[in-house]
Amino acid sequence: MRMSKLFSQTLREAPSEAEAASHQLLLRAGFIRPLAAGVFSYLPLARRAMNKIENIIRQEMEAIGGQEITMPVVHPADIWKETGRWYQIDAEMGRFKDRSGRDMVLAMTHEEVIADLVRREVRSYRQLPLLLYHLQTKWRDDPRPRAGLIRVREFTMKDSYSLDADWEGLDRQYRAHYQAYFNIYHRCGLQVVAVKSDVGMMGGQMAHEFMYLTPIGEDTLLICEACGFSANRQIASFQKTLLGPEQALPMEKIATPECKSIAELAEFLGVPHARTAKAVFLVAVVNEGQQQVERFVFAIVRGDMEVNETKLANLIHARSLRPATEEEIRRVGAEPGYASPVGLQAGKPGQKGSFWVIVDDAVPASPNLVAGANEAGYHLRNVNYGRDYQADFVADIAAALEGDACPQCGQPLKAVRGVEVGNIFKLGTRYSDSMGCSYLDADGKSNPVVMGSYGIGVGRLLACIAEQCHDADGLIWPVSVTPYQVHLVLLVGKGGTDEAGQVQETAEQLYASLQQVGLEVLFDDRPESPGVKFKDADLIGLPLRLTVGERSLKAGGIEFKRRDRQEREIIPLDQVIDRVRSELTALQAEIDRSVVVAPQNF
């Protein structure tokens, strides 16, 4: 491709709203252009890189038995209503009506569609197992798109779906995907870690996320460097330090003026935070049948801990959670800043004063805590769960923090940030049961198909590669996903006509020769200065650069430079193709060495 014809142009500066390095560089290098918030056009350079990523994905999916299909972007809402997700997902789902007034959905994911296909096509156990996948456009109306392709609303995703006759088959396909995903990322030149994660709107019984570790990531991960434990903070557990067994002392009311926070209370009374009970007030939207209702949630954790809203939402199957207002807190009989469940009576659902009390599992094992008295300026000493109040739920609702004890080995956990570049889910029969996806076994008995779901965001993967592979001058593409392998730069100087003609002719011949042997070349034939051309070459970031100019020809050949190195050298013209091939082989070998068997600690 000649740069004089390339539908793209580089930018000297990125727009001010582009904060992430990948966003800045992909804009400046002419890979992407924004259309609306979280919606991008992919220009030819990006499209070529994404094609290579998608081909790697296809190869790895087919290596584990995948068959590629294509499913629609637009779905009838009826299938989403069958699984209940029409009622469970909020504004993130793109909803509209067709011209006949039927409810329709823009694809967020394709579990419902694959389940509909399966119930129409699969009849017998002889048709199982199956693995189907596609690469398709998705729409999720994210309220806060950010960081370019890292968090968007419209995107391309590879999603695959495993279909098995039993749970053992699902286990095999889940483990096969786990390894295949590491192969994909490593072949793309990206280093990732796998962490246990929340099943979220997908449902099911187990999930893992594949994370590229970076400070720009929105997810917090807890990792143990001693034993290898890793989990998203949304679900991470930890070993809780329990207070020793004590006799329950009589409860007493004490004055605690202006002590509305745990820190103020602990300092005023001279007690550690772990000797206090923290009240957190939330309002949950939950489904009751096909109706959505709000329920007030009174969550209690020890004062040295924080509430994990994801754990809490999963416990009560909440569609969403929001902080309660002071008016809502007082409506249930509590006092903001001085609240506890002591003395409060939960009413029936729908009645004034109705609420749920949810207690972290460390609280019952922590006797004689200081808790609110539901009266401004007062707290209660020696509050004990079971004697002084009860809960609707007792469960782990505490957030794991850096320094907490690893749940497996007890060593301190480390908190890091990451961007999710893929996920895998054991769905089980969650969709099969709701949509009637069954097969007949060898005895003629009907059984639900056991399903798994596995996703990779292609654009986000491209952005994370750019985030990892760059320097101060621009992108440095891994050879496996680079738009072109070679950047050929023509420099026509101010010498005589003969010299300029020779340079032009040599560059054109080299361009043709490189293409004839199957090499991918971006030829900068523009009438720009050497400085502009070299800056653009560094910005675009192809692995190898060849420069043809009067100076290089006088020195005996063509100037050769690897993008990831500073050294330049002159190579005789008749050796250029062999040298390019040799360097590309070496770069690919570096990628291949990173593809190793991943430990599966689950």
In angstroms, rounded to a whole number, what is the distance separating the alpha carbons of residues 211 and 294?
34
Helix ranges, 64-122 (H): 77-83, 85-88, 111-121
Secondary structure (3-state) at 578: helix
**Whether pLDDT at 16 is above 90:** no
**Whether pLDDT at 131 is above 90:** yes
Pick from 13-22, 104-113, 456-465, 494-503: least confident: 494-503
**Region 510-520: what's the mean pLDDT?**
97
Strand order in the sheet with 378-383: 252-255, 378-383, 369-375
Q: Which of 121, 89, 119, 122 is nearest to 107 (CA)?
A: 89
Secondary structure (3-state) at 488: strand
Q: 202 pLDDT band (50/70/90 cuts)? A: low
pLDDT for 413: 96
Q: Which distant-in-sequence residues (6+ apart) come within 8 Å of 7 by Cβ? A: 43, 44
Task: For residue 447, give Cα distances in angstroms to 120, 329, 452, 493.
Answer: 15, 48, 16, 76
**Region 507-521: what's the mean pLDDT?**
97
Which pTM was predicted? Answer: 0.88
Q: Which of 425, 488, 416, 412 is nearest to 456 (CA)?
A: 425
Q: Which of 28, 58, 56, 63 is nearest to 43 (CA)?
A: 28
pLDDT for 348: 42
Higher-pLDDT residue of 348, 134: 134
CA 94 to chain centroid: 20
Q: 166 pLDDT band (50/70/90 cuts)? A: very high
pLDDT for 498: 67
CA 437 to chain centroid: 29
Strand order in the sheet with 103-106: 74-76, 103-106, 94-97
pLDDT for 415: 95
**Region 486-498: what's the mean pLDDT?**
80
**Phi, psi for residue 266 in degrees, rounded to 5:** -65, -40
**Whether pLDDT at 307 is above 50:** yes
pLDDT for 445: 97
Q: Which distant-in-sequence residues (6+ apart) come within 8 Å of 501 by Cβ? A: none
Q: What is the 3-state secondary structure (H, E, C) of 35-80?
A: EECCEEEECHHHHHHHHHHHHHHHHHHHHCCCEECCCCCEEEHHHH
Higher-pLDDT residue of 121, 198: 121
**Whether pLDDT at 136 is above 90:** yes
pLDDT for 353: 44
The reply to whether omega before 129 is within 30° of 0 (cis) is yes
Q: Which CATH number fits domain 252-395: 3.40.50.150, 2.40.50.140, 3.40.50.300, 3.90.960.10?
A: 3.90.960.10
Q: State the sign of the Cα–Cα–Cα–Cα dihedral 460, 228, 412, 273.
A: positive
Task: For residue 602, give Cα distances in angstroms to 60, 183, 194, 242.
Answer: 22, 19, 11, 27
Expressed in angstroms, the distance from the first to the final Cα of the chain is: 48
Query: 21-72+108-236+414-468 belongs to which homologous superfamily?
Result: Bira Bifunctional Protein; Domain 2 (3.30.930.10)
Counting beta carbons within 10 angstroms of the beta carbon of residue 9, is it exposed (0 to 12), middle (13 to 18) or buried (19 or more)? exposed
Query: What percent of the chain clears pLDDT 90, i.e. is strictly above it?
Result: 84
pLDDT for 494: 64
* DSSP-assigned letters across all residues of 515-563: HHTT--EEEE-SS--HHHHHHHHHHHT-SEEEEE-HHHHHTTSEEEEET
**Region 256-269: what's the mean pLDDT?**
93
Domain ranges of the chain: 21-72+108-236+414-468, 252-395, 484-592
pLDDT for 497: 64
- For residues 319-347, one letter each, b for 16 or more C-beta atoms within 10 angstroms of the residue's C-beta and e for the rest, the string is eebeebeeebbeebebbbbbbbbbebebe
**Region 117-134: what's the mean pLDDT?**
97
**Region 485-503: what's the mean pLDDT?**
82
Query: Does 21-72+108-236+414-468 match 252-395 in CATH topology?
Result: no
**Whether pLDDT at 205 is above 90:** no
Q: 218 pLDDT band (50/70/90 cuts)? A: confident
Q: Which CATH number fits domain 484-592: 3.40.50.800, 3.40.50.300, 3.20.20.105, 3.40.50.2000?
A: 3.40.50.800
pLDDT for 349: 39
**Phi, psi for residue 285 in degrees, rounded to 5:** -95, 120
Pick from 14-28, 337-351, 447-461: least confident: 337-351
In angstroms, rounded to a whole number, what is the distance separating the alpha carbons of residues 365 and 384?
9
Q: How many beta carbons lie within 10 A of that of residue 495, not counting itself?
A: 15
* Amino acid making up residue 8: S
